[in-house]
Amino acid sequence: GSFDEANRNYERLLRAGIEPGLMLFRLGVVANAQGRFPDAWEYHTAAVANNPKLAARVAPPESPYQDHTCSGVYDQEEATSCPVCGETSASLMQVVNCLTSVTYHPALAPVRRWLCCDTCGHGYVSPRPTSAALEQVYSMTPPETLLGVDYYPMSRYSDIVHRFWEIMPGGELLDIGAAQCYMASVAMDYGYTATAMDLLPRYKEFADRVGCEFILGDVTTYDFGDRQFDIVTAGDVIEHVLD
For residues 57 and 4, what is the distance between their CA atoms, to the nearest angstrom? 23
- What's the pLDDT score for residue 41? 97
Q: What is the mean pLDDT of each run of 10 residues along the chain (243 residues)?
A: 95 98 98 97 97 95 89 92 95 96 89 97 94 85 78 88 95 96 95 96 94 95 96 90 80
Furthest C-alpha separation in the chain: 68
3-class secondary structure for 81-133?
Answer: CCCCCCCCCEEEEEEEEHHHCCCCCCCCCCEEEEEEECCCCCEEECCEECHHH
pTM metric for this prediction: 0.81
Phi, psi (degrees; rounded to nearest 5) at 162:
-60, -35
For residues 149 and 206, what is the distance between their CA atoms, to the nearest angstrom? 10
4 CB neighbour count, 10 Å cutoff: 9
